[in-house]
């Protein structure tokens, strides 16, 4: 599981593994991992955050400013489902002088009294009905849970007395991943993938009125904004043109994966033949998929990550130690594998500032 780093080599080798078997619903447009087993996925201790990246922090800052201005989120009650460490919630409370409530089963977060934030270590449930938020955030949660419709229906029922409450949901955009053939994005705990049409279908079928759908973060994410309504839509499915486009995209992805996997195996063999010293940078979902899929046989002994919560731990499955940027001189790499191209410029700049000039392999 890419959100949970292992505390030891033995733990890393012992993690549960499963198959990724993608299926497409041609009616609603959702893509599902049929190999997903909820018993193999735990949210009691995990970390999906990108908050340690200056690039992502800037995106989040701009997103908060935009939403505060557009929805006048000032002196309001802000609820975040899946709040993690509370970085986003604390920031939006600070900007708009709001009162924040974070719900997440995986983190113990101290209350931020000066920002009027409180955190509940639990799952969102019908018992949350008394929270009465003015706006709800649920970011990168629907794609990693087994029953996303159940969560949305619970949320809708809890908002019966809050018809003006805005719900903001953010998920990875399936079209970005599959059209651009970003194979390393497809990790086991991504239970569902959504395109704009399927995300709209889901919200409308759960009793929400969709107000806005748009791409964000270099088109990698989809956001949707909605309000509770008494009308239930989502009975007609996606348009024929959207269905054909999605089918073509998925079949192309399947064919291209085999070709790319062969080319990566060849590149790995060349690096090993030439006795290159290699490290990777980025211990997120793409790294977990890459390291567990490719036969590296010790070629890449460590993974750099700027997230201090990951440092000192091990990549699940493949068991590479996760090191801090300051540990790079120990490895003196000839090649740095960048596992997430979104941060390529940021990473290259960091490496060069350390005085190294390696070759870069961007996945």
What local confidence, expressed as pLDDT, does residue 23 receive? Answer: 93
Which residue, chain included where needed, has tokens 């980025």? 282
Cβ 51 vs Cβ 107: under 8 Å: no
Question: 174 vs 22, 42, 192, 281, 331, CA distance in Å?
Answer: 12, 23, 9, 24, 36
Burial (CB < 10 A; 0-12, 13-18, 19+), residue 262, is exposed
Domains of the chain: 9-241 (3.40.50.150), 275-362 (3.40.50.720)
Kindly report the backbone phi and psi dihedral angles of residue 129, in degrees, each rounded to the nearest multiple of 5, phi listed first. Answer: -60, -30
DSSP letters, 159-180, are: TTT-TT-EEEEEEEBHHHHHHT
> Cβ contacts of residue 249 below 8 Å, gap of 6+?
175, 178, 179
In the DSSP assignment, the letter for residue 189 is T
What local confidence, expressed as pLDDT, does residue 216 receive? Answer: 95
> Looking at 205-268, which runs of residues are DSSP E strands?
208-216, 221-228
In the DSSP assignment, the letter for residue 334 is S
Cβ 4 vs Cβ 314: under 8 Å: no
Cβ 174 vs Cβ 245: under 8 Å: no
What local confidence, expressed as pLDDT, does residue 232 receive? Answer: 73
The overall longest dimension of the chain from CA atoms, in Å, is 66
* Cα separation, 280 vs 303, whole angstroms: 5
* Cα separation, 169 vs 316, whole angstroms: 28
Task: Characterize the bridge pairing of strands 208-216 and 221-228.
Answer: antiparallel
Task: Tell me the average confidence (pLDDT) per consecutive run of 10 residues in the chain, 363 residues long.
Answer: 78 87 92 86 58 81 96 97 92 95 86 81 95 97 92 97 96 93 83 93 94 94 94 76 92 89 93 96 90 90 93 94 96 96 92 95 93
């Amino acid at each position: 599981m890419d959100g949970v780093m292992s505390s030891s080599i033995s733990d890393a080798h012992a993690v549960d593994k499963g198959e990724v078997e993608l299926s497409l619903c041609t009616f609603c447009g959702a893509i599902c991992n049929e190999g997903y087993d909820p018993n193999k996925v735990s949210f009691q201790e995990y970390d999906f955050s990108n908050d340690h990246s200056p690039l992502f922090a800037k995106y989040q800052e701009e997103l908060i400013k935009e939403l505060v201005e557009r929805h006048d989120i000032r002196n309001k009650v802000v609820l975040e489902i899946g709040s993690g460490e509370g970085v986003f919630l604390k920031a939006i409370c600070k900007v708009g002088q709001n009162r924040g409530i974070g719900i997440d089963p995986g983190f113990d977060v101290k209350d931020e009294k000066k920002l009027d934030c409180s955190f509940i270590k639990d799952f969102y449930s019908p018992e949350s009905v008394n929270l009465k938020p003015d706006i709800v955030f649920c970011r990168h949660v629907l794609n990693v849970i087994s029953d996303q419709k159940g969560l949305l229906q619970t949320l809708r029922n809890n908002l019966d007395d809050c018809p003006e409450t805005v719900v903001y949901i953010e998920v990875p955009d399936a079209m970005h991943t599959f059209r651009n053939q970003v194979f390393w994005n497809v990790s086991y705990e991504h239970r569902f993938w959504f395109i704009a049409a399927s995300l709209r279908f889901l919200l409308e079928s759960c009793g929400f009125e969709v107000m806005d759908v748009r791409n964000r973060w270099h088109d990698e994410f989809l956001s949707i904004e909605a309000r509770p309504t008494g009308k239930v839509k989502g009975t007609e499915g996606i348009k024929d043109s959207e269905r054909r486009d999605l089918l073509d995209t998925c079949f192309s992805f399947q064919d291209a994966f085999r070709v790319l996997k062969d080319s990566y195996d060849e590149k790995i063999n060349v690096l090993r033949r030439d006795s290159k010293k290699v490290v990777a940078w980025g211990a997120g979902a793409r790294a977990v998929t890459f390291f567990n899929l490719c036969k590296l046989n010790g070629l890449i002994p460590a993974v750099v990550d700027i997230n201090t919560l990951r440092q000192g731990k091990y990549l699940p499955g493949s068991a590479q130690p996760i090191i801090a940027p300051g540990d790079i001189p120990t490895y003196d790499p000839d090649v740095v594998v960048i596992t997430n191209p979104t941060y390529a410029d940021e990473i290259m700049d960091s490496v060069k500032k350390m005085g190294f000039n390696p070759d870069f392999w961007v996945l």
